[in-house]
């Protein structure tokens, strides 16, 4: 058995470094081409003049970039926040009125008295306190007992299935990619994934931009004449995956200038120094810059708590739930007036088993909770119908609301698209979470 | 050579010539990697002394805030990258990387980092051996036991984490097992123990082992003894020899070395070789390299972030020294890989670094690669503890060279192939030089425009793919 243990903080993600590890760009700034080129523009551009012929002195200039704001700013934005590893919805939104919950989880159960925003059935984990103002203001809701039609306890198969969202179809397209196909915008940034890879939900015919950090989304060495971009475009003619990625990168980076020029916000509720906090701070810059992004994916990891999910005093649940809550709270505070346009949905590949295991953790399960926050949400309440829990070694929370019903309600209300195009063959049930 | 290596450089070209050509070199790499002296790569281990500390020692140092585990793991990533730049045994190194990614234990993790270097060393010992022995060594290794929650799993409520991923990721593959298999798998593995947060010693605790009949697929065992180590060994041997495992392993190999969604017929042929040879790895690699699918797909696979970084260092022929400061190249190399999307074995999920192009062909990766190539083409970053070649290496002081011939010379040097027509055109666009223009040491290209030419070569599909 694992005892609760104090562990020194170690950064969860690159970028969440304590000092002593210079940020790449900073280090580069210090060691930039200044010595060589007499310019202090780290990562800035070097214009070569008309050509390299002759021996005239080179001229240096800042990169010219397109400041065009493509889509009309002011449209709806959807942020899909994936809780990777299968979050324990029974800890995040606790069914305190179901006695089985307390019987099945003698050590992990959250005491009734500690719950926030309780109603007759549910209450929020105390680590979600930063979200209380949104809950009270009616801009945050939870839908419980959601998930896929059939259980699938494989992380990877479940993630793919939930992100394709087209059971029975052999086509490998993600539901967000299909949504993009229905939206009229033309920005190369219309669909953007925060991180290093596009998730399955964005795979498909529509281009998706992928960005690790906003400040790095530029073509190094782009020059005033556009020679570097022209040569890259020439080198990567063709239809291979990478050719497309290079071209998307070039057009995306050009359009991205306005986002790079938009400073990071400093909301009253500060962003945590976590990977998620950083990513949402960048998402806010993208939204506020008006570069035409309409669909954005963000990930939060570390939800696969087979061990050490812990209690109210210690453990991974308290830490990760707190990170989730303060990141989302900071994000909406940071958006300012743009918050009127942004809806955020959390989604996990599946939930956890009802009964706790021997390691202060839980194994893979089925039904789960989804949070819906921001524009158009009828918040401050819990949605879904509760199936009741059972306490056997293999019992799961059953699914009473198909997760696609929640997503369908969000995208039809916020984007005016039809369900049939995004979720082929699916007949959604009314959830009521969206106005 | 390119796919089973980390990029051709002068040393590799010489090794291949000495061996009598690529097929003979590959055979020698498979069967006697030791015949290639590897002192330069081996010496690198001493650059980061923490890599050879014991688990309990590493933990003490973390607790006392002498050095955090994450810093030791950064050293581990650096060591791997620099080792890959220097090694003369690229096939062994590549297969170590392949298995270490498939039988994945991430480098981040407050508990298992203590055993992570030893885990990698264990994989390297078996990388060209037999899969059944490799699987037994990795599944019962403290790092794996800790990472997938088996180090504290007991008969009271067996933890399913390792039991499941062993079936899904390491052997049979997704969809080839059911929930009863997972439960039996988890029960078999109970008893293996690691003393977390204290001594970090691995042991077997008979009282924790779940006895009683178990069944996973076609494997059954009475499992009467409190000591379940025998059952574990037989179970893992059974899994390693299962046709679905053969299929799963060979599919991943073909995906890594041939293409995404590899031809089924190739996977089937390789699986047959795998089973016929009692899970020995070398015959499978031999069959893979000899296949027409492998030969006809040369240059089709995208290099992943780590491979791109290492190939760039090798192509430019830069020399990296022992780190002496924070921003020494041998330290900064890790941030370079991070900027491209992933540092060695830092993939956060249990399914390990992806081997599909689909994942790595992303706009952020493209921007990262262009940034890496550009900053190294100019010798701007990293700039400490590293020696770059200058344009002198390509432009002689004696006689001017035509631009197209210069592009060809640079291409032969960096990529070990003549410049394609497209590359010459690309270089022309990138620099503004005309194909027949004469370049000498007074020319602007030599004086200050050379990084644009080198970057154009490094940014070409010929360098990004292998």
Residue A64, pLDDT above cutoff 80 = no
Least confident residue range of A107-111, A339-343, B105-109, B134-138: B105-109
Residue A308, pLDDT above cutoff 50 = yes
pLDDT score at A28: 31
pLDDT score at B374: 97
B56 and A CB contact within 8 Å? no
- Taking residues A9-27, what's their average pLDDT? 32
Residue B101 to chain A, least CA–CA distance (Å): 16
**A300 closest CA partner among A324, A266, A322:** A324
Instruction: Please write the tens of the pLDDT for every residue from A347-386.
Output: 999 999 999 998 999 999 999 999 999 999 999 999 999 9
Instruction: Please write the tens of the pLDDT for every residue from B12-36.
Output: 999 999 999 999 999 999 999 999 9
pLDDT score at B464: 95
- Taking residues A251-261, what's their average pLDDT? 93
Nearest to A53 among B63, B164, B437 (CB): B437
Q: How far is CA B79 from the centre of its chain?
A: 12
Instruction: Please write the tens of the pLDDT for every residue from A269-293.
Output: 999 999 999 999 999 999 999 999 9
Residue B291 to chain A, least CA–CA distance (Å): 23
Residue A51, pLDDT above cutoff 50 = no
Residue B124 makes CB contacts below 8 A (sequence gap 6+) with B92, B96
Q: Are A144 and A383 in contact (CB under 8 A)?
A: yes
Residue B254 makes CB contacts below 8 A (sequence gap 6+) with B262, B263, B266, B267, B270, B288, B293
3-state secondary structure of A374: strand
Residue among B102, B116, B367 with most chain A CBs within 10 A, to mutate: B367
CB proximity under 8 Å: A 41-100 to B: 43, 48, 50-56, 58, 84-85
Residue A15, pLDDT above cutoff 70 = no
CA angle B466, B395, B378 (to 5 degrees): 60
Categorize the per-residue pLDDT at A186 as very low, low, confident or very high, splitting at 50, 70 and 90: confident
- Taking residues A230-238, what's their average pLDDT? 96
pLDDT score at A71: 39
Instruction: Please write the tens of the pLDDT for every residue from B83-133.
Output: 999 999 999 999 999 999 999 999 988 899 999 999 999 999 999 999 999
With CB atoms and an 8 Å threshold, state whether B429 touches A231.
yes
Minimum Cα–Cα distance from B426: chain A residue: A231
Q: Taking every pair of C-alpha atoms in chain A, what is the biggest distance, in angstroms?
A: 84
pLDDT score at A224: 85
More confident residue, B245 or A6: B245
Q: How far apart are CA A94 and CA A104, in angstroms?
A: 13
Categorize the per-residue pLDDT at A112 as very low, low, confident or very high, splitting at 50, 70 and 90: very high
Tell me the domain boundaries of chain B: 10-295, 391-464
pLDDT score at B429: 97
Instruction: Please write the tens of the pLDDT for every residue from A411-424.
Output: 999 999 999 999 99
Instruction: Please write the tens of the pLDDT for every residue from B350-366.
Output: 999 999 998 999 999 99
- Taking residues B425-436, what's their average pLDDT? 97
Instruction: Please write the tens of the pLDDT for every residue from B210-236.
Output: 999 999 999 999 999 999 999 999 999
Residue B440, pLDDT above cutoff 90 = yes
Q: How far apart are CA A157 and CA B169, in angstroms?
A: 11
Contacts of B349 in chain A (CB under 8 A): 84-85, 155-156, 301
Contacts of A3 in chain B (CB under 8 A): 197
Residue A47, pLDDT above cutoff 90 = no
Nearest to B430 among A231, A242, A359 (CB): A231
Instruction: Please write the tens of the pLDDT for every residue from A215-228.
Output: 989 999 998 889 99
Instruction: Please write the tens of the pLDDT for every residue from A155-165.
Output: 999 999 999 99
Residue A21, pLDDT above cutoff 60 = no
Backbone angles phi, psi at A398, to 5 degrees: -80, 160
Q: Are A210 and A193 in contact (CB under 8 A)?
A: yes
Categorize the per-residue pLDDT at A393 as very low, low, confident or very high, splitting at 50, 70 and 90: confident
More confident residue, B298 or B165: B165
Categorize the per-residue pLDDT at A10 as very low, low, confident or very high, splitting at 50, 70 and 90: very low
- Rg from Cα positions in chain B: 24
CB proximity under 8 Å: B 61-80 to A: 62-63, 65, 68-70
Categorize the per-residue pLDDT at A170 as very low, low, confident or very high, splitting at 50, 70 and 90: confident
Categorize the per-residue pLDDT at A141 as very low, low, confident or very high, splitting at 50, 70 and 90: very high
Residue B254 to chain A, least CA–CA distance (Å): 19
């Amino acid at each position: 058995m694992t005892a609760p243990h104090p562990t020194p903080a170690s950064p969860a993600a690159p970028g969440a470094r304590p000092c002593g590890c210079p940020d790449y760009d900073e280090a580069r700034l210090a060691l930039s081409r200044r010595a060589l080129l007499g310019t202090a523009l780290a990562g800035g551009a070097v214009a070569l003049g008309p050509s390299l012929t002759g021996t005239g002195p080179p001229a240096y200039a800042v990169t010219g970039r397109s400041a065009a704001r493509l889509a009309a700013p002011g449209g709806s934005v959807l942020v899909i926040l994936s809780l990777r590893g299968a979050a324990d919805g029974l800890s995040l939104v606790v069914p305190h009125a179901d006695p089985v919950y307390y019987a099945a989880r003698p050590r992990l159960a959250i005491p009734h008295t500690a719950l926030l925003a309780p109603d007759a059935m549910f209450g929020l984990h105390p680590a979600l306190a930063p979200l209380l103002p949104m809950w009270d203001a009616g801009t945050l809701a939870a839908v419980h007992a959601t998930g896929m039609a059939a259980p699938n306890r494989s992380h990877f198969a479940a993630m793919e299935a939930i992100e394709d969202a087209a059971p029975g179809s052999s086509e490998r397209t993600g539901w967000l990619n299909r949504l993009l196909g229905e939206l009229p915008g033309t920005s190369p940034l219309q669909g953007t994934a925060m991180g290093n890879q596009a998730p399955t939900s964005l795979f498909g015919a529509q281009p998706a931009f992928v960005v690790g950090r906003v400040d790095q989304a530029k073509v190094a060495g782009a020059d005033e004449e556009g020679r570097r971009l022209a040569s890259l475009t020439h080198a990567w003619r063709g239809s291979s995956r990478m050719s497309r990625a290079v071209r998307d990168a070039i057009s995306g980076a050009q359009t991205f200038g306005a986002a790079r020029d938009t400073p990071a916000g400093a909301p009253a509720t500060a962003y945590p120094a976590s990977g998620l906090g950083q990513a949402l701070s960048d998402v806010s810059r993208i939204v506020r810059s008006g570069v035409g992004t309409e669909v954005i994916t963000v990930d939060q990891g570390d939800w696969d708590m087979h061990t050490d999910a812990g209690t109210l005093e210690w453990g991974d649940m308290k830490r990760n739930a707190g990170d989730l809550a303060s990141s989302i709270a900071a994000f909406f505070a940071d958006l300012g007036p743009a918050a009127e346009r942004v809806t955020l949905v959390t989604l996990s590949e599946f939930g956890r088993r009802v009964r706790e295991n021997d390691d202060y953790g839980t194994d893979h399960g089925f039904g789960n909770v989804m949070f819906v926050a921001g524009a158009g949400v009828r918040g401050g309440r819990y949605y879904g119908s509760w199936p009741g829990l059972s306490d056997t070694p293999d019992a799961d929370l059953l699914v009473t609301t198909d997760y696609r019903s929640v997503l369908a309600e969000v995208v039809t209300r916020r984007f005016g698209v039809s369900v049939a195009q995004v979720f082929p063959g699916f007949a959604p049930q009314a959830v009521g979470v969206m106005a | 050579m390119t796919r089973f290596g980390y990029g051709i450089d002068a040393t590799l070209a010489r090794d291949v010539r000495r061996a009598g050509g690529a097929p003979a070199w590959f055979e020698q790499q498979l069967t006697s990697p030791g015949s290639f002296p590897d002192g330069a790569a081996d010496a690198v281990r001493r650059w980061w002394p923490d890599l050879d500390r014991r688990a309990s020692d590493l933990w003490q140092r973390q607790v006392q805030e002498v050095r955090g585990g994450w810093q030791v793991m950064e050293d581990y990533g650096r060591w791997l990258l620099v080792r890959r730049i220097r090694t003369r045994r690229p096939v062994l190194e590549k297969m170590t990387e392949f298995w270490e990614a498939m039988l994945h234990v991430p480098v981040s993790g407050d508990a298992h980092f203590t055993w992570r270097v030893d885990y990698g060393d264990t994989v390297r010992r078996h990388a060209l051996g037999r899969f059944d022995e490799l699987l037994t060594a990795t599944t019962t290794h403290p790092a794996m036991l800790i990472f997938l929650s088996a180090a504290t799993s007991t008969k009271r409520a067996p933890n399913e984490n390792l039991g499941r991923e062993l079936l899904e990721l390491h052997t049979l593959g997704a969809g080839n097992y059911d929930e009863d298999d997972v439960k039996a798998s988890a029960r078999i593995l109970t008893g293996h123990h690691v003393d977390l947060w204290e001594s970090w010693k691995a042991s077997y605790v008979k009282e924790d082992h779940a006895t009683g009949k178990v069944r996973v697929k076609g494997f059954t065992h009475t499992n009467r003894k409190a000591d379940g180590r025998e059952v574990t060994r037989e179970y893992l041997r059974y899994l390693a020899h299962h046709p679905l495992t053969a299929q799963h392993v060979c599919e991943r190999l073909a995906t890594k070395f041939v293409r995404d969604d590899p031809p089924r017929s190739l996977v089937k042929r390789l699986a047959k070789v795998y089973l016929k040879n009692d899970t020995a790895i070398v015959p499978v690699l031999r069959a893979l390299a000899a296949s027409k699918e492998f030969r006809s797909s040369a240059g089709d696979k995208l290099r992943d972030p780590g491979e791109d970084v290492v190939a760039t260092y090798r192509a430019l022929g830069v020399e990296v020294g022992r780190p002496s400061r924070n921003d020494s190249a041998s330290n900064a190399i890790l941030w370079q890989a991070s900027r491209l999307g992933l540092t060695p074995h830092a993939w956060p999920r249990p399914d390990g670094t992806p081997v599909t192009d689909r994942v790595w062909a992303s706009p952020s990766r493209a921007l990262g690669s262009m940034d890496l190539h550009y900053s190294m083409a100019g010798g701007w970053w990293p700039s400490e503890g590293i020696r770059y070649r200058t344009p002198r290496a390509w432009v002689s002081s004696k006689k001017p060279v035509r631009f197209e011939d210069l592009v060809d010379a640079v291409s032969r040097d960096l990529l070990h192939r003549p410049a394609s027509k497209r590359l010459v055109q690309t270089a022309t666009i990138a620099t503004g030089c005309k194909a027949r223009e004469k370049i000498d040491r007074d020319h602007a290209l030599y004086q200050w425009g050379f990084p644009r030419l080198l970057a154009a070569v490094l940014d070409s599909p010929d360098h990004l793919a292998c």
